[in-house]
Amino acid sequence: MAGIRERTYIMVKPDGVQRGLVGEIIARFEKRGFKLIAAKLVSPPKGQLEQHYADLSSKPFFPGLIKYMLSGPVFAMVWEGLDAVKTGRVMLGATNPLQSAAGTIRGDYALAVGRNICHGSDTVENAEKEISLWFPEGIVQYSLLQETMIFE
Ligand code: IDP
Ligand code: MG
């Protein structure tokens, strides 16, 4: 089936790590049927965060965003599965948690746009760029034995 190998970069931000939500966020992606192909707790250098958020560098909130992202370690992950990028964004919820639907990660656990717990790639192209940026060492290859129970 087309699209089942799509990959997305999902990151628990410093507030999510501090609030003990790493396991909860992993569990949601696991239970949905996505395959975990990379994960690590990291304190990235400032330059890596500036590169990750380069598209937002002219925004007034950019310095605050970088400061927030540097306030503690992040939990970086790559998940693979059908329509992973778009579905990952739906699972995260709207950028501003006040507009995130209940049942989404942000809609269940966050209130403020500047403390919205998690990141998810917005396009397949950006996902591939983010995966290279955060996992230059490469990712694990394995087959998920329950795959025939998740995809036709
Ligand atoms: P996204 O994370 O849903 O893709 P983006 O527009 O790419 O949203 O913004 C990246 C991150 O920048 C957001 O997740 C949020 O943490 C932060 N951000 C976006 N807009 C604002 C704002 O208006 N004030 C403060 N922080 C913001
Ligand atoms: Mg974004």
Residue 51, C-beta contacts closer than 8 angstroms, at least 6 positions apart: 133
Closest ligand by atom to 117 CA: 1
Closest ligand by atom to 94 CA: 1
CA of 66 to the centre of ligand 1 (A): 11
Residue 34, C-beta contacts closer than 8 angstroms, at least 6 positions apart: 79, 80, 81, 84, 88
CA of 142 to the centre of ligand 1 (A): 33
Name the residue of 113, 117, 121, 129 to mutate for ligand 1: max ligand atoms within 8 A of Cβ. Answer: 113
Q: What is the CA radius of gyration of the chain?
A: 15
Query: Would the ipTM clear 0.95, i.e. be above it?
Result: yes
pTM: 0.97
C-beta neighbour count of 26 within 10 angstroms: 18
C-beta neighbour count of 25 within 10 angstroms: 22
Find the mean pLDDT for residues 95-100: 98
Each residue of 104-127: pLDDT tens digit?
999 999 999 999 999 999 999 999
